[in-house]
């Protein structure tokens, strides 16, 4: 297909500044590759919550069920608690739309540098595949003796065979499309004694179906150390919701791309829309100034194009980003340039 | 006091090769500073488990209750499951002896380098203070529908006010002894919605008692990224059992010292012995060859001396390690030298 209905949720803070640049680039690439986008924008955000008491209308997600994708900026603002903003908007989208894979590339774009000494593009090129709907992110749990000396807080992490197997299979399928064909499992079965041994058992069972893929596994503590010491060891890394969350910030950090990293919340079966969002948040410290770097949002647009079946258009976006990064004048301040958000977005669109 | 009873547990693999070097250095520093050590060694290990079915005798820990410290090498071997070896020896020591603080320095010794570009000794010098007896490391939980399609694994993390407050207080007290006087709290209250908001509440309550200490907090995902991007931001970092475990491998990794890092499992009240062990494990791949680097064990001995009230002796050990690192001939293979474990240990002892 060449015509797509995209739900856009700019959200809070710099989300509202970078989403328009992502749309600008999508329009530009659409003109070039003959792809039409219908953007349906909503104002769901902490601002709206403060007026209405809701992060989104009750039937909010119902409206977008038939859309092709969700394009999101950032959710969260200091004066609204996270359990309201994130658990009222971001997490429900991931769960309602069964986006059980969170995919994040960890690699250097041309013109960017890694904080690791002597490491460049050839050394750091892997994906983190994060379980995105169950595990440690669970509403099960609570408090005893609230507010008293003896206070206790309990959190349950819940892993299902179906939930674990499907994200692992996604990781193996992804590895099949890559050159090195290696899947690394993040575990902690020596310390987290119920769920992590289960995770290991399922990894063993699932990998039996992929004899063409090389595998290994590390405990999360040493795995984080290896990301720093040996980023070249990794190809596809699969982890639980929490471990994947940690690794998919650490991975872009070692690649020097944490400020511009994209992410895809994927429903692999395509029964529901997938969602694309930058890794950065709403950045209250710089919001409203028009100086935010839009590359994370634009790179997320490239991941969306890929997902929608237009890899060439995706590639054109990546190359345009790289061209603009090479040119100091079009970079934003965080990258040592002087361009504002819009100028940077326009530069990328015009390269396309 | 100048006379100490030390329980030594070489344990498995290279633990047996490096503990004697730690003892050698302790003897040497004891001669110089007039400190006497009585070492009471036990063979508790996976080997003994394979013969007796037990990692340690039932009254094992009872025997060491009155000792001044435990000096441990490494526990774990590939043919014994971790829940047997670690949960049968290492974890019970931490818990029975109320070693509720796990303390790990993250800094460069003279002569070592960080994998981070342009970062040296002045940029990386902080401590991770890890909660060591509760939280995510919990035996509460289990399975439903074991072995079936619908299989579910549940893990409960349990945090108590008493357990959280005391480790936080330890972190604040430690910060008071340091120049920068800053405590950073590792959280994830936006995703782990029961226990981490509780952790944050307690951090807020405890810090009120330390107005002289600067504080901040980061979610664990971005905190790991900051360790790589801004290690100079940190002074004392306090985290839960799991987050502290992750940060105290990542910290030494960014400092370039993961292979030689020490750790202290501390019972701050002194009601029970504290335990000192290197961060590295039993290293089955190189065990038995006599080539393991003993510096992690020896640095742990320095932490033990400090804990026992002999900071000058501790400092002498650190300086001797640094002198030996400066000399290629006395370094072990992993550090680019040719010395074996014993030669490296002897070199350090003779410098003292
Ligand atoms: C071996 C393992 C159980 C242990 C832990 O996770 O506590 C280790 O990683 C450590 O940090 O001492
Ligand atoms: C904002 C937060 C709840 C979220 C998460 O932990 O999932 C974010 O860190 C992410 O990775 O998308």
State the pairing for strand pair B36-41/B3-11: parallel
- Residue B1's pLDDT band, with cuts at 50, 70 and 90, is confident
What confidence score (pLDDT) does residue A1 get? 82
Task: Quote the number of domains for chain A.
Answer: 2
Question: From the CA of A222, which ligand is nearest?
Answer: 1
Residue B88 lies in a domain: yes
Same domain, residue pair A122 and A234: yes
The answer to whether the Cβ–Cβ distance between B190 and A155 falls below 8 Å is: no
Same domain, residue pair A183 and A312: no
Residues 6+ apart with CB under 8 A from A304: A6, A26, A69, A71, A264, A274, A276
Can you tell me the mean pLDDT for B80-91? 92
Instruction: Please identify, among A214, A241, A256, the residue that sits at the C-terminal boundary of a domain.
Output: A256
Residue B220 lies in a domain: no
Assign residue B265 the CATH number of its domain: 3.40.718.10
Ligand 2 pocket test target in B186, B187, B191 with most atoms within 8 Å of CB: B191
Same domain, residue pair A179 and A246: yes
Can you tell me the mean pLDDT for B251-259? 95
Nearest Cα residue in chain A from B247: A221
Secondary structure in 3-state letters for chain B: CCEEEEEEEEECCCHHHHHHHHHHHHHHHHHHHCCEEEEEECCCCHHHHHHHCCCCCCCHHHHHCCCCEEEEEECCECCECHHHHHHHHHHHHHHHCCCCEEEEEEECCCCCCCCECCCCCCCCEEEEEEECCCECCCCCEEEECCCCCCCEEEEEEEEEHHHHHHHHHHHHHHHHCCCCCEEEEEECCCCCCCHHHHHHHHHHHHHCCCCCCEEEEEEHHHHHHHHHHCHHHCCEEEECHHHHHHHHHHHHHHCCCCCCCEEEEECCCCCCCEEEEECCCCCCCCCCCCCCCCHHHHHHHHHHHHHCCCHHHHHHHHHHHHHHHCCHHHCEHHHCCCECHHHHHHHHHHHC
Residue B96 lies in a domain: yes
Instruction: Please identify, among A256, A274, A295, the residue that sits at the C-terminal boundary of a domain.
Output: A256
Same domain, residue pair A250 and A265: no
Residue A50 lies in a domain: yes
Same domain, residue pair A218 and A340: no
Q: Rounded to two decimals, what is the model's pTM?
A: 0.97
Can you tell me the mean pLDDT for B105-117? 96
Give the mean pLDDT of chain A.
97
Q: How far apart are CA B219 and CA A26, in angstroms?
A: 32
**Closest approach of chain B CAs to the CA of A315, in angstroms?**
27
Same domain, residue pair A266 and A342: yes
Among B149, B224, B249, beta carbon nearest to A222: B249
What confidence score (pLDDT) does residue A116 get? 98
Residue B99 lies in a domain: yes
Rounded alpha-carbon distances, angstroms, from residue A102 to A199, B132, B230: 17, 31, 26
Question: From the CA of B241, which ligand is nearest?
Answer: 1
What confidence score (pLDDT) does residue B117 get? 97
Same domain, residue pair A18 and A54: yes
Same domain, residue pair A237 and A303: no
Can you tell me the mean pLDDT for A280-294? 96
The answer to whether the Cβ–Cβ distance between B258 and A194 falls below 8 Å is: no
**Closest approach of chain A CAs to the CA of B147, in angstroms?**
9
CA B188 to centroid of ligand 2, rounded, Å: 9
What confidence score (pLDDT) does residue A235 get? 98
Give the mean pLDDT of chain B.
97
Tell me: the pLDDT tens digits for B137-169? 999 999 999 999 999 999 999 999 999 999 999
Say yes or no: CB of residue A142 within 6 Å of ligand 1.
no
Same domain, residue pair A243 and A299: no
Tell me: the pLDDT tens digits for B289-339? 999 999 999 999 999 999 999 999 999 999 999 999 998 899 999 999 999
What confidence score (pLDDT) does residue B288 get? 96
**Domain span including residue A223:** 113-126+159-256
Question: From the CA of B224, which ligand is nearest?
Answer: 2
**Closest approach of chain A CAs to the CA of B34, in angstroms?**
39
Please indicate if any CB of chain A lies within 8 Å of the CB of B229: yes
Tell me: the pLDDT tens digits for A136-155? 999 999 999 999 999 999 99
Same domain, residue pair A4 and A65: yes
Residue A75 lies in a domain: yes
**Closest approach of chain B CAs to the CA of A305, in angstroms?**
27
What confidence score (pLDDT) does residue B213 get? 98
Say yes or no: CB of residue B245 within 6 Å of ligand 1.
yes
Residue A99 is encoded by which pair of tokens? 């986006």
What confidence score (pLDDT) does residue B324 get? 96
Same domain, residue pair A194 and A245: yes
Ligand 2 pocket test target in A86, A93, A101, A131 with most atoms within 8 Å of CB: A86
- Residue A83's pLDDT band, with cuts at 50, 70 and 90, is confident
What confidence score (pLDDT) does residue A292 get? 97
Rounded alpha-carbon distances, angstroms, from residue A239 to A246, B103, B176: 9, 27, 38
In this model, does residue A35 exceed pLDDT 90? yes
Please indicate if any CB of chain B lies within 8 Å of the CB of A193: yes
Q: Which residue has the higher pLDDT, A82 or A71?
A: A71
Q: How far apart are CA A122 and CA B349, in angstroms?
A: 43
The answer to whether the Cβ–Cβ distance between B158 and A149 falls below 8 Å is: no
CA A341 to centroid of ligand 2, rounded, Å: 24
In this model, does residue A303 exceed pLDDT 90? yes
Neighbours of B233 (CB within 10 A): 17
In this model, does residue A195 exceed pLDDT 90? yes
What confidence score (pLDDT) does residue B83 get? 84
Residues 6+ apart with CB under 8 A from B45: B9, B10, B11, B12, B15, B55, B75, B77
Instruction: Please identify, among A256, A278, A309, the residue that sits at the C-terminal boundary of a domain.
Output: A256
Residue A77 lies in a domain: yes
Q: Name the A residues in 143-162 with CB < 8 Å from any B CB.
A: 143, 148-162
What confidence score (pLDDT) does residue B23 get? 98
Say yes or no: CB of residue A225 within 6 Å of ligand 1.
no
Assign residue A235 the CATH number of its domain: 3.40.50
Residue A337 lies in a domain: yes
CA A93 to centroid of ligand 2, rounded, Å: 12
CA A232 to centroid of ligand 1, rounded, Å: 25
Secondary structure in 3-state letters for chain A: CCEEEEEEEEECCCHHHHHHHHHHHHHHHHHHHCCEEEEEECCCCHHHHHHHCCCCCCCHHHHHCCCCEEEEEECCECCECHHHHHHHHHHHHHHHCCCCEEEEEEECCCCCCCCECCCCCCCCEEEEEEECCCECCCCCEEEECCCCCCCEEEEEEEEEHHHHHHHHHHHHHHHHCCCCCEEEEEECCCCCCCHHHHHHHHHHHHHCCCCCCEEEEEEHHHHHHHHHHCHHHCCEEEECHHHHHHHHHHHHHHCCCCCCCEEEEECCCCCCCEEEEECCCCCCCCCCCCCCCCHHHHHHHHHHHHHCCCHHHHHHHHHHHHHHHCCHHHCEHHHCCCECHHHHHHHHHHHC
Q: Name the B residues in 236-255 with CB < 8 Å from any A CB.
A: 241-242, 245-246, 248-250, 252-254
Same domain, residue pair A252 and A267: no
Please indicate if any CB of chain B lies within 8 Å of the CB of A263: no
Question: From the CA of B277, which ligand is nearest?
Answer: 1
């Amino acid at each position: 297909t060449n015509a797509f209905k995209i739900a856009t949720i700019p959200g809070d803070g710099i989300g509202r500044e970078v989403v328009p640049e992502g749309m600008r680039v999508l329009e530009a690439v659409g003109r070039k590759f003959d792809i039409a986008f219908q953007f349906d924008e909503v104002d769901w955000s902490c601002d709206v919550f403060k007026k209405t008491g809701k992060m989104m209308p009750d039937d909010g997600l119902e409206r977008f069920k038939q859309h092709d994708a969700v394009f999101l900026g950032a959710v969260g603002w200091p004066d609204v608690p996270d359990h309201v903003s994130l658990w009222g908007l971001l997490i429900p989208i991931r769960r309602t739309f069964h986006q059980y894979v969170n995919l994040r590339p960890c690699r250097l774009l041309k013109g960017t540098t890694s904080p690791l000494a002597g490491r460049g593009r050839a050394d750091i090129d892997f994906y983190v595949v994060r379980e995105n709907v169950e595990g440690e992110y669970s509403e099960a749990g609570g408090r005893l003796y609230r507010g008293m000396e003896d206070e206790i807080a309990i959190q349950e992490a819940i892993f299902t065979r179906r939930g674990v197997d499907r994200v692992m299979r996604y990781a193996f399928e992804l590895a099949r499309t890559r050159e090195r064909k290696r899947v690394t499992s993040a575990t902690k079965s020596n310390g987290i004694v119920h769920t992590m041994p289960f995770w290991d058992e399922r990894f063993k069972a699932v990998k039996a179906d992929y004899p063409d893929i090389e595998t290994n596994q590390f405990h999360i503590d040493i795995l984080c150390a290896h990301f720093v010491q040996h980023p070249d060891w990794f190809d596809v890394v699969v982890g639980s919701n929490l471990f994947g969350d940690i690794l998919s910030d650490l991975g872009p950090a070692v690649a020097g791309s944490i400020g511009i990293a994209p992410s895809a919340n994927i429903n692999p079966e395509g029964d529901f829309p997938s969602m694309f969002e930058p890794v950065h948040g709403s950045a209250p410290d710089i919001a409203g100034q028009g100086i935010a770097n839009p590359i994370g949002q634009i790179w997320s647009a490239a991941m969306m194009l890929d997902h929608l079946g237009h890899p060439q258009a995706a590639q054109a976006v990546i190359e345009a980003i790289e061209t603009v990064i090479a040119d100091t004048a079009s970079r934003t301040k965080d990258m040592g340039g002087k361009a504002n958000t819009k100028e940077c977005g326009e530069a990328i669109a015009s390269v396309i």
